[in-house]
Amino acid sequence: MPELPEVETVRAGLERHVAGRVIASAEVLHPRAIRRHVPGVEDFTGRLCGVKIEAARRRGKYLWLDLADGEAMLAHLGMSGQLLVQPEDTPAEKHLRARFRFADGGPELRFVDQRTFGGLALAELVEVDGTAVPNTIAHIARDPMDPLFDAALAVRLLRAKRTEVKRALLDQTLVSGVGNIYADEALWRSRLHWARPTERLTAKQAQAVLSAAAEVMAEALVAGGTSFDALYVNVNGQSGYFDRSLDAYGRVGEPCRRCGTPIRRDPFMNRSSFSCPRCQPKPRTRTR
């Protein structure tokens, strides 16, 4: 599933292949794909017709296209979303949800999404902390790859939480871009158990786990960013990074790369958490 490094790869592809072009027509093939665009399908397609795309931007797992009329087309890939740049005569994908044709007659932009957790919407741009962002994601924090990311602030916010450390890492208002995979990897690198109460984190531990999250995402971006030159801008969660570089996520029963102890899998928020029983010992039962 696309997380920050994959979304950044898509953003770079959009910047290269779509920025500077004028949308000739927009078509929505599945209304759920634009459910967050409250005014509806006709408003969405109508307002995009004839508009020039200025740039492709990203914050956390959200990305958006700056439009010449001053608004933005916001996209979230959800679990299974893809933004593809395809020649117009390419057959429609099975889960094609929306398509955008361009005035230059070149390759079109397609939104494909099997599970429809993702979606597109038009949004007004607002200034938050000196940066223009779509109003509907004004609450999303800067991600660790943002040049203006405030690490000291994130450490303070993390320690001010009253919850488990992994829940806090997944809180997009504290730091954005961290999903289940990178949360587990960051916790493994910093030798913290996912259920460690945030109020018991030392400043050093909080700083370490946030740094680890930034590092693992930066490494994933390098590993997954090899297809920037391809016209076919694809995100399918199958980047080489996942096959060879994960230390915890999905490795249940396999030996910890540090100590050899089999990795465990715990139920966590209707999904899974992977960790090393020895390197990441369970915290003492908390007393509320």
Partner DNA sequence: CTTCAAACCTGTGGGC
Partner DNA sequence: TGCCCACAGGTTTGAA
Give the residue numbers annotated as catalytic, written as ranges: 2-3, 61, 271
Q: Residues 6 or more apart from 135 whose CB is under 8 A from it?
A: 123, 124, 125, 126
What is the spatial distance between Cα 137 and Cα 72, in angstroms, rounded to a whole number? 12
Residue 112: phi and psi, rounded to 5, are: -120, 130
State the minimum distance, in angstroms, from the CB of residue 281 to DNA.
20
State the minimum distance, in angstroms, from the CB of residue 26 to DNA.
21
DSSP 117: -
Query: Is residue 133 within 8 Å of residue 148, measured between CB atoms?
Result: no
State the minimum distance, in angstroms, from the CB of residue 149 to DNA.
16
What is the spatial distance between Cα 8 and Cα 61, in angstroms, rounded to a whole number? 8
Nearer to DNA, 32 or 204 (CB): 32
User: Is 94 annotated as ligand-binding?
Assistant: no
Query: Is residue 223 within 8 Å of residue 241, measured between CB atoms?
Result: yes
The three-state secondary structure class of 113 is: strand
State the minimum distance, in angstroms, from the CB of residue 266 to DNA.
10
User: Is 115 annotated as ligand-binding?
Assistant: yes
Nearer to DNA, 95 or 101 (CB): 95
Nearer to DNA, 176 or 280 (CB): 176
Query: Is residue 107 within 8 Å of residue 17, measured between CB atoms?
Result: yes
Residue 27: phi and psi, rounded to 5, are: -140, 130
Nearer to DNA, 114 or 227 (CB): 114
State the minimum distance, in angstroms, from the CB of residue 288 to DNA.
9
Q: Residues 6 or more apart from 269 whose CB is under 8 A from it?
A: 167
Rounded to the nearest angstrom, the gap between the alpha carbon of residue 123 and the centroid of all alpha carbons in its chain is 18
Q: Residues 6 or more apart from 156 whose CB is under 8 A from it?
A: none
Residue 284: phi and psi, rounded to 5, are: -60, 150
User: Is 110 annotated as ligand-binding?
Assistant: no
Nearer to DNA, 13 or 179 (CB): 179
> Which residues contact DNA (rule: CB under 7 A)?
1, 3, 32, 60-62, 76, 78-79, 95, 114-117, 136-137, 161-164, 167, 170, 172, 179-181, 249, 265, 269-272
Annotated binding site for DNA: 95, 115, 161
